[in-house]
Amino acid sequence: MLQAVAAAPRRLLVVDPCHECERLLPCLQASGWMVHSCGLEEVGEVLCDVGLIRLRAPHLERPETLKQLISQSGTEWIAVLSSEALQQPEIGNFIGEWFFDYHTLPFDVDRVSVALGRAFGMARLRGKGSDVGDEHPHELLGSSRSIRELCRLLSKLAPTEAPVLIRGESGTGKELVAHTLHRLSRRAGEPFVAVNCGAIPEHLIQSEMFGHEKGAFTGAHQRKIGRIESADGGTLFLDEIGDLPLELQANLLRFLQEMQIERVGSSKPISVNVRVLAATHIDLEAAIRQGRFREDLYYRLNVLQVQTTPLCERTVDIRCLAEYFARRYAVEIGRRPRSFSERAVRAMIEHPWPGNVRELANRVRRGMVLAEGRQIEAADLGMEVSEVAIPLLGTLDDYICRAEQQALSDVLLHYSKNMSQAARVLGVSRPTFYRLLHKHRIR
Ligand SMILES: Nc1ncnc2c1ncn2[C@@H]1O[C@H](COP(=O)(O)OP(=O)(O)OP(=O)(O)O)[C@@H](O)[C@H]1O
């Protein structure tokens, strides 16, 4: 039996509707657009796929406000203006940089419909528009199996009070994991204090961690509260724990056993209630064997363990992360968020990502600054795509296997958040689709 599938509504936001809109809006509603209208100051409150704005002198006098709204709204924008206004070079440049398209008055319903349709398609293609959820700066993004399993694990570990050792390559999100554990715990309203054990000079680390009393040593002009004490009631995150000098490891162990500290220059114990999370990218077991890390401290910290996955093992997440960083840096840099060309996406998928998500964020920031066209190209990211594909010879089965892998990765590029849709596009059932993902070890 055939089932009717309801198309997602196409939401259009008309900002400061002008009297010319009176004829236009009913036509758009009749052709399936769900139209909302609002004033400029309310734009951030309505989630829409496409926005139509009649550019007037006051808007153009405050371009910064408009740029801010456009870059934060997650909507594709079309400017409406008179043909005389468009002749002014600064207005033309402004529209070229910030808008998807423009329309000169009077309205031509057919032309507007085509422009809106294209903008809608682009908004959906980029994952922008009204389907986009709230963005949280401390949220672990991604739809790969490893990220989904990580989030499930974190929600189980967060409510406990036990220490967690977070392991993984540099830039894979270990600090983000620590933030997430804190945010989901009972301590969420209390301080989260991060200490990078490798970044504090060795002679300062004792007083940084434990604090000192006035006059404890030359230069100690007043009492200083240490990082451990300042986390009282909350979470203490010890990053790069493998870099902690041996002497400090002994002091930290004592603190973990007794939950008390002594400031430098004082022998009075102070009770501190913190949950300890630690992270490392080094092989702590090897460090123990080499005598660089205390085994007893290792067992204290390693009660629960979380492992982050390198980016090259979850390529499905690359596009969504890159688009997130493009939106984030658009606000910072003050440019319109850009999408990525297919070649740029391919270059990102093929890249080995030794610096993981941090490297991706840095490359996207660079791309946002350098991009000249509508899209970020591979070269803007400092990447190249292999021009000539060297044929990989093999049996017919090898060719079929590679074709399956290609088909899966192509479809996941577009539908990583909707597995049913991905399966439908390939013309296979959902179980078959999952079986293929499993067979090709695609997460
Ligand atoms: N899954 C993710 N979703 C969103 N942002 C992420 C994700 N993973 C990492 N990031 C971002 O990547 C950057 C690096 O992450 P983070 O500092 O947590 O990595 P790390 O593993 O602690 O690195 P290091 O070992 O070098 O300290 C941060 O800007 C972080 O917000």
* Number of alpha helices (DSSP H) and beta strands (DSSP E) in the chain: 19, 14
10-residue mean pLDDT profile of the chain (443 residues): values are 44 83 83 82 75 84 78 80 86 83 88 86 62 55 88 92 95 95 93 91 86 81 89 95 92 94 90 96 95 96 95 91 88 79 89 96 94 88 70 71 79 77 87 80 61
Atom 15 of ligand 1 has which residue's CA nearest to it? 173
User: Is residue 239 lining ligand 1, measured as CB closer than 6 Å?
Assistant: yes
Ligand 1 centroid – CA 167 distance (Å): 12
Same domain assignment for residues 263 and 159: yes
**Rounded distance, CA 317 to CA 157, Å?**
23
391: in domain: no
**Rounded distance, CA 354 to CA 380, Å?**
19
> Would you call 41 exposed, middle or buried from its count of C-beta atoms within 10 A (0-12, 13-18, 19+)?
exposed
* pLDDT for 380: 94
User: Is residue 141 lining ligand 1, measured as CB closer than 6 Å?
Assistant: yes
231: in domain: yes
Pairing of strands 270-271, 260-261: antiparallel
* pLDDT for 129: 47
Same domain assignment for residues 154 and 245: yes
Query: How is 143-158 classified by DSSP, letter by letter?
Result: -SHHHHHHHHHHHHHT
User: Is residue 163 lining ligand 1, measured as CB closer than 6 Å?
Assistant: no
* pLDDT for 133: 39
Same domain assignment for residues 177 and 290: yes
Same domain assignment for residues 320 and 301: no
Ligand 1, closest atom to CA 324?
Answer: 4
Query: How is 354-368 classified by DSSP, letter by letter?
Result: TTHHHHHHHHHHHHH
Ligand 1 centroid – CA 22 distance (Å): 49
367: in domain: yes
Same domain assignment for residues 168 and 217: yes
Nearest to 209 by CA among 165, 175, 250: 250
The domain that holds 53 is classified in CATH as: 3.40.50.2300
Same domain assignment for residues 294 and 326: no
Query: How is 55-114 classified by DSSP, letter by letter?
Result: --HHHHH-HHHHHHHHHHH--EEEEEE-HHHHHSHHHHHHHHHH-SEEEESSP-HHHHHH
* pLDDT for 130: 43
User: Is residue 323 lining ligand 1, measured as CB closer than 6 Å?
Assistant: no
3: in domain: no
Same domain assignment for residues 103 and 75: yes
Helix%, strand%, coil% for the chain, nearest 5: 50, 15, 35
Domain count, the chain: 4
* pLDDT for 310: 96
Ligand 1, closest atom to CA 360?
Answer: 12
DSSP-derived 3-state class of residue 375: strand
Same domain assignment for residues 112 and 213: no
Ligand 1 centroid – CA 150 distance (Å): 14
Under 8 Å between Cβ of 167 and 280: yes
> 164 has which bridge partners?
277, 304
Query: Residue 271 is part of which domain span?
Result: 145-307
329: in domain: yes
Handedness of CA 66, 68, 72, 74 (dihedral sign): positive
User: Is residue 365 lining ligand 1, measured as CB closer than 6 Å?
Assistant: no
The domain that holds 190 is classified in CATH as: 3.40.50.300
Residue type, 207: S
Residues 6+ apart with CB under 8 A from 170: 281, 355, 356, 358
User: Is residue 176 lining ligand 1, measured as CB closer than 6 Å?
Assistant: yes
Same domain assignment for residues 171 and 271: yes
Pairing of strands 304-307, 339-340: unpaired
Same domain assignment for residues 300 and 207: yes
Tokens read off for 42: 């309310």
386: in domain: no
67: in domain: yes
Under 8 Å between Cβ of 104 and 378: no
389: in domain: no
User: Is residue 361 lining ligand 1, measured as CB closer than 6 Å?
Assistant: yes
Q: Domain ends where: 277, 307, 337?
A: 307
The domain that holds 328 is classified in CATH as: 1.10.8.60
Ligand 1 centroid – CA 170 distance (Å): 8
Same domain assignment for residues 344 and 415: no
* pLDDT for 393: 63
Distance of CA 21 to the CA centre of its chain: 38
Same domain assignment for residues 26 and 158: no
DSSP-derived 3-state class of residue 124: helix
Alpha-helical (H) ranges within 169-262 are 174-183, 202-210, 227-230, 246-258
